[in-house]
Amino acid sequence: MLIGYMRVSKTDGSQTTDLQHDALIAAGVAADHIYEDRASGKLDARPGLDAALKSLREGDTLVVWKLDRLGRDLRHLVNTVHDLAGRGVGFKVLSGHGASIDTTTPAGKLVFGIFAALAEFERELISERTKAGLASARARGRSGGAPYKMTVTKLRFAMAAMGQPETKVGDLCNELGITRQTLYRHVDPDGNLRDDGEKLLAGRRK
């Protein structure tokens, strides 16, 4: 059975799910098997997604219009799809950058494996850079992980991590090589950007 999921970020009616709905229907998803949310992808509380995931049974396939409709970041996507695979559930993306992902086929599994490898590579790269920075500081007679500035890469990682309930702030700061003060100047406890975070990303875009 095919189960569809669609999402728009705004609840004020300025965005519609018509395009997603039509694409899911064209892909063979029955109208009564489509779930939806009107919420930011950063939010953990998404009743529609929760209901869709709960309805899936072994042999079913979860279908989304684009990859970003499902999750808020690469690591969340990878974890979600791994959970589905463990239940014997497939995952298929209809269009956009992830359109080659269809875990019910060998080629689609290969593409998703690349996505998973990139997520792991990003995590390890941040960890390696943090350790190298600490070692360099100690060689100069400094101890601890502060002060080290926030970077765009660290900021994106922090945004993703802070949105997950299992994240321990102390461990995250150690991994990124920053202080709690620096972390909370850039993001709030839910992973949303604060003023310093907005300025950092704005500077990167210029």
- With a cut of 90, say whether residue 35 has pLDDT above it: yes
Sort residue 193 into left (φ over 0), alpha (ψ -120 to 50) or beta: beta
Q: Does domain 2-116 have CATH number 3.40.1030.10?
A: no
Question: How far is 49 from 46, CA to CA, in rounded Å?
Answer: 6
Read off the pTM.
0.53
**Tens-place pLDDT, residues 116-130:** 555 555 555 555 556
- Give the domain ranges of the chain: 2-116, 145-205
- Cis amide leading into 147 (omega within 30): yes
With a cut of 50, say whether residue 146 has pLDDT above it. Answer: no
Q: What is the pLDDT of residues 42-92, one digit of tens each?
A: 655 688 999 999 999 999 999 999 888 887 666 677 778 888 888 889 888
The reported pLDDT for the residue numbered 145 is: 46
Catalytic residue, candidates 9, 55, 95, 143: 9
**Whether residue 136 lies in the annotated active site:** no
